[in-house]
Amino acid sequence: MTARLRRRRTWAVAAGVAALLAVVLLLPLSYFVESPGRLLTLGGCVDVHAEDTVPVHGDFLLTSVGLSRATPATAAIALLRTDQRLRSEDRIVRRDVPDAEHFDGQRRVFARSAQSAAALGLRAAGFGADPERLVGDGALVTGVLEGAPAEGVLRRGDVIVGVDGAAIATDAELRAVLDDTREVDVRFTRGGTEQEAALTPIELVVDGEERVALGVRLETLNARVDLPVPVDVASGDIGGPSAGLMIALAVYDQSDPTVDLAAGRRVAGTGTLTSQGAVGRVGGIDLKALAAAERGADVFLAPASQAEEAVALLPPDSGLEVLAVTTFEDAAQALLETAEPGESYGPPSDPECPLRPAA
C-alpha cells in the first residue's frame, strides 16, 4: 500500500469516527433540558383597546423556562450546572404526540388562559367582565375513540358546529346537548366544507367520568373569553397557563387610571389563575426567579405554596423581593402596599413588543 493510500484510509477512518461521535453526541434522548427562560415585557406586549387606559409606570415581566430536547452532550452539561436540570419526557410531553404538536397545544393553552386573565384584570378595573363566559368557533375533534359511534364518520381536525339545528361554539356546549342516547344530526366542517352525519351517542367512560358521548376527544376551536373590550397579548412561542397572574395585573394596571401597581418597578412573577382569581402552582419556579434576579427585576410574585422554592437558587446578595400571594387580589394589594413613591428604580423596559399576538 502506498503512502498516499494509507493517508486516504487514515482520513476516511478519522472522518467516520468523527461522524459517529457527532451522531452519538447529538442523538435525541427521552429527556428535556430545563433552564431559565426569557423575560417578556408585558408593558409593551399587553394592549387594552379601551378609552382612558394608561401606560404602565415600570413594567410587568412574564417569566418562563426554556425546554429543549436533550442530547448526550447537552445532558452532560445540564448535570454539571445548578441552573439547568434534566426532566423525563413523560413529565413534559405525551409519548404518542410529536413534540411540535405538544408545544402548539401549549401555545393554545396560553391564549385561553391569557383571555381569562384579561377578564379578571378588566373586572378589577370596573369593566364588568366575566372570566367564565367562554366563546369559540366550534368543537374541534382531536381524536376518535376506537369502537365509538364517531369512528369512521368523524376524524381528527373536524370541527363540530351544530347538533340538531342548534349552533355549537364550544366543546362544553356539545357535551351539554348530548343528554341521552337518541340519534342526533351532527353538522361539522372538514377542510372548509360543511357536512352532516347522523350519529347515535352511547354511554362512555371518558377521563374517568361516565357520560353520554360520541366517542371523540374535543377542545374548543379558538377558545376565548367574551371580553367587553379587546385585549391583545403577544407571547411569541411561550406556552402554558403560568402567565395568568402577570397578564391580569398588567391589564388591571393599564385599565384603571386610579391605580399604579408597578409604581416604577420591574415586577416579575408567575402563577396560574382560576376564573375566580386563585393563584396556582407552576413548574420551574426557582429557574424563573433566578432569571428575574439576573435580569434586573425588583419584585417577584410567587404562589404562596412555592415561595420558599422560588428563592432556592437566588444568590445570598440578591436584591429581588419575593412576595407570596394566594389570589389575584392579594397580588394587587401586595404591590400597592410595597410601593415606595419617589424611589428610583432601574431603567424602564423597552415598550416595544416584537412578538406576534397570541390572544
Q: Establish if 254 belongs to a structural domain.
A: yes
Helices 328-338 and 244-255, packing angle to 10 deg: 60
Helices 99-124 and 328-338: angle between axes, nearest 10 degrees: 70
Residues recorded for the chain: 359
Q: Give Cα 274 distance to the centre of its chain.
A: 14
DSSP string, 238-264: --SSTTHHHHHHHHHHHH-TT--SSTT
pLDDT of the residue at 65? 82
CA distance 50 to 116: 17
pLDDT of residue 350: 43
Look up the CATH number of the domain holding residue 169. Answer: 2.30.42.10
Question: H-type helices in the chain, by residue range?
Answer: 3-26, 42-45, 72-80, 99-124, 171-177, 244-255, 285-294, 307-310, 328-338
Domain that holds residue 106: 36-129+228-338
> Is the sign of the CA dihedral 48, 51, 52, 54 positive or negative?
positive
**Are both 88 and 144 inside the same structural domain?**
no
One DSSP character per residue, 156-204 reads TT-EEEEETTEE--SHHHHHHH--SSS-EEEEEEETTEEEEEEE--EEE
Residues 149 and 266 in one domain: no
H/E element, 347: none
Residues 107 and 193 in one domain: no
**What is d(CA 106, CA 358) in angstroms, rounded to the nearest whole number?**
12
Question: Do 250 and 272 belong to one domain?
Answer: yes
Phi/psi for 40 (5° steps) reads -110, 130
> What are the grid coordinates assigned to 166, written together?
342548534
Regions in the chain scoring below 70 on pLDDT? 1-26, 90-97, 99, 102, 205-210, 341-359
Do 90 and 167 share a domain, yes or no?
A: no
Confirm whether 177 is domain-assigned: yes
What's the pTM? 0.71
How many domains are contained in the chain?
2
Among 160, 191, 220, which residue terminates a domain? 220
* pLDDT value for 209: 59
